[in-house]
Amino acid sequence: MIQGTLDLLILKALALNPMHGWGISDHISQMSGGAFKIGQTPNNRIARLYELTPVGKHALEDEIAVWRSYTSAMDLVIQAQ
């Protein structure tokens, strides 16, 4: 996985609905058609419910902009003749 993509995936999952860690992992797997599988570490901690804050929404927008810029540049390189 490319560095920084996990942050984007988590933020995007949380933008859809508040969820706990296992739900985030499962949702990322579903959104990616199973291409991304984020493992869970079993431990005896209390499950926490996460939701996107206004700062998180801004971070998601920034991450999407960076990702789109990156993929556009990669497309230029791939298509170069």
DSSP state of 1: -
What would the 3-class secondary structure string for 9-53 be?
Answer: HHHHHHHHCCEEHHHHHHHHHHHCCCCCCCCCCCCCCCCCEECCC
Q: What are phi and psi of 53, to 5 degrees?
A: -90, 170
pTM for this entry: 0.78
What does each C-alpha distance from 53 to 8, 15, 43, 67 come to in angstroms? 14, 9, 26, 21
Residue given tokens 């499950």 in the structure block: 47
pLDDT tens-place string over residues 29-68 = 999 999 988 876 666 667 789 999 999 999 999 999 999 9
